[in-house]
Amino acid sequence: MGHEELSRRLIRDAEIRKEEIFGRAREEAVRLRDSALARAGEMERESLDALSRDIARERRLAWNRARIEVRTGRFRARAALAAQIVARLEERMSRLPGEAGYPRVAARLYEEIRPELPEGEVVLRGDAAALAVLRSVATGPRFRFEPLPEGELGGVEAASPDGGLLLRNTLGSRLAKAMPDLLAEIDRMLGAPDE
């Protein structure tokens, strides 16, 4: 074998090796490309899933905020309606001392607290109509009469002169005592709040 044939054989062997190396490199490139495409697809699915979860969470948050706003609006409307009912009741009660049957009411309010009156001097307070009734039923030098404090709807108060004992049986105190039941009744009349 001569140099020439040896050179051709070496070149041929080098070409074969080069083709084998290029073939393996092409196979590796195809494998890497397929792997990268698969990973890109997986990442895209993960991103879409994460985006879907974020959108669903934002939708739930927006829905919850809207429900809270609706409930708050309904609560405010119910509270405003209840306040209007109570205001009308207070207004109606403020007119009660001017009505013909009020002296009987004032006498009854006094009779309810009479058993609890202290011994000795007593200050009785009432509105103008109640004071007329009190002067007729509470006779004697131990009783002193005064008008009710400003802003009181009407009724009767009894106190010791030093202010240590105060018995209130006024229209305002009766309303305050009845308020929880009144508000429960108003709530019942308005019906259950919608969900």
| pLDDT tens-digit series, residues 79-96 | 888 888 888 888 888 888
CATH code: domain of residue 106: 3.30.2320.30
Are 69 and 147 in contact by the 8 Å Cβ rule? The answer is no
Question: Looking at the 3D structure of the chain, how many domains does it have?
Answer: 1
Alpha helices for 96-170 (secondary structure H): 102-113, 128-137
Beta strand spans in 53-163 (E):
122-126, 143-147, 155-159
- Domain region containing 106: 94-190
Question: CB neighbours of 97 closer than 8 A, spacing ≥ 6?
Answer: 106, 127, 128, 129, 130, 153, 154
SS3 118: coil
Say if 81 falls within a structural domain: no
Please give the Cα distance from 5 to 1 (Å, whole number): 6
Asked whether the whole model's pTM tops 0.85, one would answer no
Residue 49 falls inside a structural domain: no
Q: What is the pLDDT, as a whole number, of residue 194?
A: 58
Over residues 36-44, the mean pLDDT reads 88
Residue 155 falls inside a structural domain: yes
Q: Specify if 147 maps to a domain.
A: yes
For residue 64, CA distances in Å to 51, 68, 195 come to 20, 6, 12
Residue-level pLDDT at 94: 82
Inter-CA distances, 179 with 73, 85, 183, Å: 23, 11, 6
| Residue 179, domain member (yes or no) | yes
CA pair distance 115, 99, nearest whole angstrom: 27
Residue 164, in any domain of the structure: yes
Residue 34 within any structural domain of the chain: no
Residue 54 lies in a domain: no
Query: Half-sphere exposure of 79 toward its Cβ, with a 13 Å CA cutoff?
Result: 6
**Is 80 exceeded by the pLDDT of residue 155?**
yes
pLDDT of residue 193: 62
Angle at alpha carbon of residue 104, lines to 178 and 176, rounded to 5°? 15
The conformation of residue 117, written as its DSSP 8-state character, comes to P
